[in-house]
């Protein structure tokens, strides 16, 4: 069979700025945190531009995570991370209906598998209480197995965390991006930040496609945050990529668990999680492997075998189900174990670094914290149009194929319609990469991994790109 070439399918997106424009805020990096900051500053009246080196959002660390909405019960006490996670959780709940963000309120179980872990449960509960999370309680083995009858009988007990939930990790930042655009924010893609100069009033940021002027720079470049930081001259900040490998089990396994199954965490990692996904699968992972490379997201056979063994130890009936796919994500851990947010007022530069596994939940809280830290106000403007609900691609609500008006289903594994794909390729916030299209529609992400629908999807991409020429 002829191999389909997925390179160079997408044209670089159009440049929205002019060389004479001066922005109040330039945000470097369009991960989930960058998109949330873009929304916050644009909504509050700042003339804002979001700069991304790839041709779409979420092309770095944000594309691979566990997609959990955290309560902060186990966050470091008194930390900025805890503050941002709790605020981010609260903001997500406020926004979800207006933006059509889906949530599955599963609750979580922190399961003890041996006597040593069992002894730690009470300390975890007390820490959660001190963190302001009250919906925590100890359950014994009998109650645990009633809640999770397919869990291994080796489990000794657990903490029930009522507020933990599963969300669609890709639609949320897309919604934040669209909100930023609605309030007049501008987007530039395929602009790799290479250098910059500050004259005491204005930054001139040099990118691979032109110069951008702004009064203040916000560095939310994730894995590349330490490299962008060198432009400011900042020292003492280093990103250490932390790889997390995952297994995705077939949809037939979905009903094996009811809750998010969490391990008793260590100082270094929250450990291997078994959870439902927004798309009807079971996810197992992540691992936590520090490495030097910021691009190596490969998976390793022996690591995946370790995850599979772990999955069977937790939920033995997973042996009866197949793995649909595997993937790895890179988390931008830093040389310190806390959020590295700093405002250099002299150089008008805000660093947003070291945002690790809680970044998805904390993003809206981080954005609000940074706006308050910035401390300047702008004249608020009326939005250009009403809020746009993002399309639902989760299994928590009605999907597009259940509605009238589409011509055909293109991806049969994930039941993605031609209408969904066409809409996802349109507009300023439309997909700019094959991965971006997958994250907006689920096309090519099912059991066959695009074997049956890839050719059709590629033709639709080519047609859409020809329309934009």
Q: Which tens digit of pLDDT belongs to each residue from 17-44?
A: 999 999 999 999 999 999 999 999 999 9
pLDDT at residue 1, as a whole number:
46
pLDDT at residue 419, as a whole number:
98
Rounded mean pLDDT of 154-180?
97
173 neighbors 36 (Cβ within 8 angstroms): yes
Note if 321 is an active site residue.
no
Reported as half-sphere exposure (CB side, CA atoms, 13 A), residue 117 has a value of 17
* CATH code for the structural domain at 15-105+166-238+335-392: 3.50.50.60
pLDDT at residue 335, as a whole number:
86
Q: Where in the chain is the domain with CATH 1.10.10?
A: 400-468
User: Using 50, 70 and 90 to split pLDDT, how confident is the model at 381?
Assistant: confident
Q: Where in the chain is the domain with CATH 3.50.50.60?
A: 15-105+166-238+335-392
Q: Rounded distance, CA 393 to CA 399, Å? A: 6
Residue labelled with tokens 């059709």: 456
Residue labelled with tokens 């902060």: 72
400 neighbors 391 (Cβ within 8 angstroms): yes
Instruction: DSSP letter for 371, please.
Output: H
**166's tokens:** 């599963």
Q: Rounded distance, CA 302 to CA 32, Å? A: 31
pLDDT at residue 304, as a whole number:
97
Say yes or no to pLDDT of 262 above 50: yes
Rounded to 10 deg, the angle between the 359-374 and 171-182 helix axes is 30
- Cis bond upstream, residue 232 (ω within 30): no
Residue labelled with tokens 């998109």: 35
pLDDT at residue 56, as a whole number:
98
Say yes or no to pLDDT of 330 above 60: yes
C-alpha closest to that of 29 among 200, 218, 247: 218
User: Using 50, 70 and 90 to split pLDDT, how confident is the model at 391?
Assistant: very high
Q: How far is CA 405 from CA 257, 416, 418, in A?
A: 35, 13, 10
pLDDT at residue 450, as a whole number:
95
Q: Rounded distance, CA 401 to CA 389, Å? A: 17
**287's tokens:** 């691992």
* CATH code for the structural domain at 400-468: 1.10.10
Say yes or no to pLDDT of 55 above 60: yes
14 neighbors 466 (Cβ within 8 angstroms): no
> pLDDT tens digit string along 146-165?
999 999 999 999 999 999 99
**112's tokens:** 């003890």
The pTM of this model reads: 0.96
User: Using 50, 70 and 90 to split pLDDT, how confident is the model at 267?
Assistant: low
Least confident of 220-224, 249-253, 267-271, 424-428: 267-271
* CATH code for the structural domain at 108-162+240-334: 3.30.9.10
Q: Where in the chain is the domain with CATH 3.30.9.10?
A: 108-162+240-334
Q: Which residues contact 187 (CB under 8 A, 6 or more apart)?
A: 13, 16, 30, 49, 50, 52, 177, 181, 428, 429
Between 214 and 384, the more confident residue is 214
Q: Which of 70, 191, 385, 412 is catalytic?
A: 70
Rounded mean pLDDT of 92-110?
97
The gap from C-alpha 244 to its chain's centroid, in whole angstroms, comes to 14
Rounded mean pLDDT of 249-274?
89
pLDDT at residue 384, as a whole number:
82
What ranges in 29-109 are assigned the alpha helix state H?
Answer: 32-43, 80-99
Beta-sheet strands, E only, within 208-322: 210-219, 239-249, 260-263, 273-276, 282-285, 289-290
243 neighbors 298 (Cβ within 8 angstroms): no
């Amino acid at each position: 069979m002829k191999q389909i070439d997925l390179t160079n399918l997408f044209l670089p997106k159009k440049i929205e700025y002019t060389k004479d424009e001066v922005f109040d805020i330039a945000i470097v990096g369009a991960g989930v945190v960058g998109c949330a900051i873009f929304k916050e500053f644009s909504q509050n009246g700042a003339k804002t531009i979001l700069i991304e080196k790839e041709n779409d959002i979420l092309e770095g660390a944000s594309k691979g995570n566990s997609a959990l909405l955290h309560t902060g019960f186990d966050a470091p006490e008194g930390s900025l991370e805890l503050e941002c996670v709790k605020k981010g959780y609260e903001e997500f709940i406020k926004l979800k209906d207006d933006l059509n963000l889906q949530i599955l309120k599963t609750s979580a179980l922190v399961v003890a598998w041996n006597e040593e872990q069992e002894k730690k449960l009470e300390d975890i509960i007390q820490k959660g209480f001190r963190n302001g999370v009250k919906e925590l309680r100890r359950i014994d083995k009998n109650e645990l197995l009633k809640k999770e009858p397919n869990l291994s009988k080796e489990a000794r007990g657990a903490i029930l965390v009522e507020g933990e939930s599963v969300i669609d990790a890709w639609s949320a930042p897309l919604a934040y991006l669209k909100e930023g655009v609605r309030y007049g924010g501008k987007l530039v893609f395929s602009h790799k930040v290479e250098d910059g100069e500050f004259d005491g009033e204005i930054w001139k940021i040099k990118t691979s496609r032109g110069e951008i002027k702004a009064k203040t720079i916000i560095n939310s470049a994730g894995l590349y945050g330490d490299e962008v930081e060198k432009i400011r001259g900042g020292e003492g900040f280093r990103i250490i990529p932390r790889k997390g490998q995952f297994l995705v089990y077939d949809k037939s396994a979905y009903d094996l668990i009811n809750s998010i199954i969490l391990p008793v965490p260590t100082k270094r990692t929250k450990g291997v999680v078994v959870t439902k996904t927004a798309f009807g699968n079971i996810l197992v992972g992540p691992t936590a492997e520090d490495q030097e490379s910021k691009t190596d997201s490969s998976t390793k056979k022996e690591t995946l075998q370790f995850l599979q063994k772990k999955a069977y130890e937790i939920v033995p009936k997973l042996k009866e189900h197949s793995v649909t796919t595997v993937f790895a994500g890179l988390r931008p851990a830093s040389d310190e174990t806390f959020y590295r947010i700093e405002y250099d007022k002299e150089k008008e530069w805000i660093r947003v670094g070291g945002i690790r596994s809680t970044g998805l939940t904390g993003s809206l809280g981080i954005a609000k914290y940074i706006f308050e830290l910035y401390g300047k106000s702008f004249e608020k403007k009326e939005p250009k149009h009403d809020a746009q609900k993002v399309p639902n691609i989760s299994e928590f609500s009605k999907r597009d194929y259940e509605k009238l008006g589409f011509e055909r289903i293109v991806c049969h594994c994930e039941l993605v319609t031609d209408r969904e794909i066409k809409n996802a390729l349109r507009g300023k916030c439309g997909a700019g990469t094959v991965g971006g299209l997958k994250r907006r529609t689920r096309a090519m992400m099912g059991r066959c991994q695009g074997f049956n629908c890839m050719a059709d999807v590629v033709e639709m991409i080519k047609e859409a790109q020809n329309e934009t020429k």
